[in-house]
């Protein structure tokens, strides 16, 4: 199923590059990490994408997380069509917003929630609120955790663990990151040292509830609880970013999976992706006393023209309502089958690999040893992943076009789709093994250039 050189995707990519930087509206879509031409998608249904050349792919991107139920789920389409028929945006409060917020409050420990339109807005607003609430300025984050393209979080670690950061991209002034501390993930000592030195200045620590943006790197047992306790001991707020994990790894996200067991409750949480059902909707929320500092109740300003958009809230509510226990059980079945297939075929091909999971979200690292932080993720083989990716694509399976991403499944991935992926794996594993095991060359990536 190789795409001919004169494909419509190639023609569209050439056209797009004339008018849009890199030809795409979000960097990872450009295939820079794997080479080649991105497939321009014309339509999607259930677990499948169809490109403009008529090629079909089993979709393991799922829009980078939102499509929990697959593409074109009937209940979501029905809700969206009904919403659209009533108008698309009013700029006034609606019943749909209340219902979506109630649904999220019912599933998570948040007491109050504010809707926004992207995960970036959610984390940016949560940090502003944490600073406004505590009257402190310093923010702690982890290398390899991505929280959207918020200036203060586009930071690369400084020269020492407890020193402040430098901008991770041109365009971010040093003044935006000089109050950000970037620490290695899963490293309790680094966290303790940073709080020992700067504790009385730290407004908040933000972490992915279970990182998926350096590939899936689960928190060590008790790590989130340790973070919550450390924050509490120093009067800082603990922000758990569940934009990716929320309503995907379980009905309540990562908090519902291990927080309820380990006993960590975030002061603030951020959500996105699944809660918008494929439309731009995201949220931040948490403790009522903290959220009451937000305008118009309190002094911390935050707003949005399309926040709580009626079409997006209808899609989000329909998605959450349809996300039953059976849906999560199916996600596990699909992910288990794919993980088992990868393990078997990669082992047979002599391809070193480590599969890491948080619920049904998983990553296949082409490396020998488990990955617990960003530095280790960077040491995995990028050329081998590119070979794997292209072989799978040629066989009709669309993996994420980057070695540092989660593979996402949906409840619409039926046995036929799963089998198609399994059938494609042996040839792809041989191609990856032939591509070799060079680790990433050149300057290490900063935690800021996680691409979405």
Q: Which residues are catalytic?
A: 146, 241, 273
| Sole binder of ligand PLP in the list 7, 55, 177, 213 (CB under 6 A) | 213
Contact 154, 168 (CB under 8 A): yes
Residues 236-295 binding ligand PLP (CB under 6 A) are 241, 243-244, 272, 282
CB of 123 to ligand PLP, least distance (A): 5
DSSP states of 67-136 as a string?
Answer: -TT-BT-HHHHHHHHHHHHT-S--SS--HHHHHHHHHHHHHSS-SEEEEESSHHHHHHHHHHHHHHHHT-
What the block records as the tokens of 370 is 């488990």
276: three-class secondary structure by DSSP: helix
Nearest-angstrom CA–CA distance, 372 and 310: 40
What single DSSP character describes residue 221? T
Residues 40-99 binding ligand PLP (CB under 6 A) are 64
CB of 117 to ligand PLP, least distance (A): 8
CB of 64 to ligand PLP, least distance (A): 6
Q: Which stretch binds ligand PLP (CB under 6 A): 49-57, 101-109, 113-121, 194-202?
A: 113-121
Contact 435, 389 (CB under 8 A): no
| Sole binder of ligand PLP in the list 269, 323, 399, 452 (CB under 6 A) | 452
User: Which CB atom, from 145 or from 355, has the smaller least distance to ligand PLP?
Assistant: 145
User: Which CB atom, from 53 or from 208, has the smaller least distance to ligand PLP?
Assistant: 208
Of 339, 323, 341, 342, residue with least CA distance to 410: 323
CB of 145 to ligand PLP, least distance (A): 7
Starting at the edge strand found earlier in the chain, the sheet holding 41-45 runs 41-45, 48-51, 56-59, 397-398
230: three-class secondary structure by DSSP: helix
User: Which CB atom, from 13 or from 284, has the smaller least distance to ligand PLP?
Assistant: 284
User: Which CB atom, from 142 or from 146, has the smaller least distance to ligand PLP?
Assistant: 146
User: Which CB atom, from 146 or from 385, has the smaller least distance to ligand PLP?
Assistant: 146
| Angle CA 182–186–187, to nearest 5 | 70
| Angle CA 399–442–389, to nearest 5 | 15
User: Which CB atom, from 49 or from 282, has the smaller least distance to ligand PLP?
Assistant: 282
Contact 449, 169 (CB under 8 A): yes
Binding of residue 119 to ligand PLP (CB under 6 A): yes
Q: Which stretch binds ligand PLP (CB under 6 A): 116-124, 199-207, 287-295, 338-346?
A: 116-124
Ramachandran class of 91: left when φ > 0, alpha when ψ lies in -120 to 50, beta otherwise: left
Residues 133-162 binding ligand PLP (CB under 6 A) are 146-148
| Sole binder of ligand PLP in the list 53, 208, 258, 451 (CB under 6 A) | 208
- Cα 286 to Cα 86, 234, 283: the distances in Å are 31, 18, 10
CB of 441 to ligand PLP, least distance (A): 25
CB of 147 to ligand PLP, least distance (A): 5
Total residues contacting ligand PLP by CB under 6 A comes to: 16
| Sole binder of ligand PLP in the list 7, 9, 55, 118 (CB under 6 A) | 118
Contact 378, 439 (CB under 8 A): yes
- Cα 3 to Cα 31, 40, 55, 401: the distances in Å are 15, 12, 8, 16
Q: Which stretch binds ligand PLP (CB under 6 A): 53-61, 115-123, 314-322, 396-404?
A: 115-123
CB of 214 to ligand PLP, least distance (A): 11
Q: Which stretch binds ligand PLP (CB under 6 A): 13-21, 119-127, 131-139, 305-313?
A: 119-127
- Write the secondary structure of 134-180 as one string of H (helix), E (strand) and C (coil): HCCCEEEEECCCCCCCCHHHCEECCCCCCCCCEECCCCCCHHHHCCE
What the block records as the tokens of 212 is 């998926």
CB of 218 to ligand PLP, least distance (A): 14
Q: Which stretch binds ligand PLP (CB under 6 A): 78-86, 118-126, 330-338, 343-351?
A: 118-126
User: Which CB atom, from 100 or from 243, has the smaller least distance to ligand PLP?
Assistant: 243
DSSP states of 395-412 as a string?
Answer: TTEE--SSTTS-B---TT
User: Which CB atom, from 240 or from 376, has the smaller least distance to ligand PLP?
Assistant: 240
Nearest-angstrom CA–CA distance, 189 and 269: 24
Residues 391-450 binding ligand PLP (CB under 6 A) are none
Residues making contact with ligand PLP (CB under 6 A)? 64, 118-120, 123, 146-148, 208, 213, 241, 243-244, 272, 282, 452
């Amino acid at each position: 199923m190789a795409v001919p050189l004169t494909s419509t995707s190639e023609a569209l990519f050439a056209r797009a590059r004339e008018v849009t930087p890199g030809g795409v509206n979000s960097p990872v879509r450009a295939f820079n990490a794997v080479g080649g031409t991105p497939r321009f998608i014309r339509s999607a249904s259930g677990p499948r994408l169809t490109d403009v050349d008529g090629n079909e792919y089993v979709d393991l991107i799922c829009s980078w997380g939102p499509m929990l139920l697959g593409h074109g789920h009937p209940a979501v389409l029905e809700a969206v069509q009904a919403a659209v028929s009533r108008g698309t945006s009013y700029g006034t409060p609606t019943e749909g917003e209340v219902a979506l917020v109630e649904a999220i409050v019912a599933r998570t420990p948040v007491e109050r929630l504010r809707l926004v339109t992207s995960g970036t807005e959610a984390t940016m607003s949560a940090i502003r609120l944490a600073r406004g609430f505590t009257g402190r300025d310093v923010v702690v984050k982890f290398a390899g955790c991505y929280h959207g393209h918020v200036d203060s979080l586009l930071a690369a670690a400084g020269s020492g663990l407890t020193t402040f950061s430098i901008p991770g991209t041109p365009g971010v002034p040093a003044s935006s990151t000089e109050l950000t501390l970037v620490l290695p993930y899963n490293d309790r000592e680094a966290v303790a040292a940073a709080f020992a030195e700067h504790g009385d200045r730290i407004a908040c620590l933000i972490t992915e509830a279970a990182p998926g943006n350096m590939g899936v790197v689960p928190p060590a047992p008790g790590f989130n609880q340790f973070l919550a306790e450390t924050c509490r001991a120093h009067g800082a707020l603990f922000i758990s970013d569940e934009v990716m994990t929320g309503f995907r790894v379980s009905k309540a996200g990562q908090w519902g999976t291990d927080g309820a067991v380990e006993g960590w409750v975030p002061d603030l949480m951020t959500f996105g992706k699944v809660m918008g059902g494929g439309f731009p909707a995201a949220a931040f929320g948490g403790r009522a006393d903290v959220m009451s500092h937000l305008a118009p109740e309190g002094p911390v300003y935050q707003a949005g023209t399309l926040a709580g958009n009626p079409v997006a809230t209808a899609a989000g509510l329909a998605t959450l309502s349809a996300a039953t226990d059976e849906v999560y059980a199916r996600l596990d079945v699909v992910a288990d089958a794919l993980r088992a297939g990868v393990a078997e075929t990669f082992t047979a091909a002599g391809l070193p690999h480590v599969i890491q999971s948080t619920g049904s979200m998983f990553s296949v690292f082409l490396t020998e040893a488990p990955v617990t932080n960003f530095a280790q993720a960077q040491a995995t083989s990028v050329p081998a992943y590119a070979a794997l990716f292209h072989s799978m694509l040629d066989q009709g399976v669309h993996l994420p076009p980057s070695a540092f991403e989660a593979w996402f499944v949906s409840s619409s991935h039926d046995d036929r789709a799963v089998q198609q992926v399994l059938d494609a794996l042996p040839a792809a594993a041989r191609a990856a093994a032939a591509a070799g095991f060079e680790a990433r060359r050149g300057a290490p990536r900063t935690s800021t250039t996680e691409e979405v």
